[in-house]
Homo-oligomer: A and B are copies of this chain.
Amino acid sequence: MAQKETVERILDAAEALFSERGFAETSLRTITSTAGVNLAAVNYHFGSKKALIQAVFERFLEPLVADIERRLSELEQQPEAINVESLLKVLSSAIYEVHGRNTNRATAFMRLLGLAYTQSQAHLRNYIAQRYGETFQRYAGLLKPALPGATDQELFWHTHFALGTAIFTMSNFDALRAMAVNDTGHRGSVDFIVSHLTGFMAAGLRNASHPHR
């Protein structure tokens, strides 16, 4: 096997295993044996397990954030005012486009994003915040005029409510779909779930301040 392949085989195996079990629960030995490479290859090519975790996220986030930036620029050049739904659609569309019809890959990515928040990996949160903070701030700057009447305090909390909705759903995507089969008889198509998730977030963002409409 060529030398370049080793790195990608490790990243593929780590990505799948991390998303299934979490970071602490996945050993380097499981990763390397799944990837079919030697145990020492991880420390040779990446330096440490922490660096491997960051590399997995970088491979995922780099094209995604680039696509988000591109879509935000498109949105800004349109003459009409930017509304909440179009901003939420930027995110869902970017995930669709970057990872295509490969739902396994997309749900794995979602679970990883959730784990980044939940698991105690301070180094990972720092890395993400430092590397992609500009995009987050640009997005927030566009969201503010899309929600007129909200105070800064309300804007902060409502966006984090919405963020939590998405992250929780994403990180438990497979488990929730399994439960859905038991409870409703339907697994739920990705399109159905994403569109309702977007609707939930948009409705919450608009009306959280006026609970008794």
Q: A residues within 8 Å of B by Cβ?
A: 20-22, 24-25, 85, 114-115, 117-120, 152-154, 156-158, 160-165, 167-169, 171-172, 175-176, 179-180, 183-186, 188, 192-193, 195-213
Contact of A171 among B118, B158, B161 (CB under 8 A): B118
Given contacts A115-B118, A119-B22, contact A209 B204 (CB under 8 A): no
B21 x A196 contact (CB < 8 A) = no
Q: Which residues of B contact A20 (CB under 8 A)?
A: 120
**Residue on B nearest A83 in the bound complex, by CB:** B212
Chain B residues whose CB sits within 8 angstroms of the CB of A169 once the complex forms: 160-161, 164
Bound: A152/B206 CA distance, A: 25
* Least distance between A81 CB and chain B CB atoms (Å): 15
**A153 touching B212, Cβ below 8 Å:** no
On whether the beta carbons of B212 and A208 are closer than 8 Å, the reply is: no
User: A117–B168 contact, CB under 8 A?
Assistant: yes
A153→B161 CA distance, assembly (Å): 22
- Bound CA–CA A168/B167 (angstroms): 8
Instruction: Give min CB distance, A204 to chain B, whole Å.
Output: 4
Is A203 a contact partner of B196 (Cβ separation < 8 A)?
no
**Are A211 and B188 closer than 8 Å at their CB atoms?**
no
Extra A-B contacts (13), CB below 8 Å, given A199-B210, A200-B207: A21-B120, A22-B119, A25-B120, A117-B168, A117-B175, A152-B183, A156-B180, A157-B188, A157-B197, A163-B168, A164-B168, A165-B204, A203-B204
Query: Min CB distance, A210 to chain B, in Å?
Result: 7
The answer to whether A196 and B165 touch across the interface, beta carbons within 8 angstroms, is no
List, sorted by A's number, 26 A–B pairs whose CB atoms are closer than 8 Å: A21-B120, A22-B120, A24-B24, A25-B119, A85-B212, A114-B168, A118-B171, A118-B172, A153-B184, A154-B196, A157-B193, A158-B200, A161-B200, A163-B168, A164-B168, A165-B165, A165-B168, A196-B208, A196-B209, A199-B207, A199-B209, A199-B210, A199-B211, A200-B208, A203-B213, A207-B207
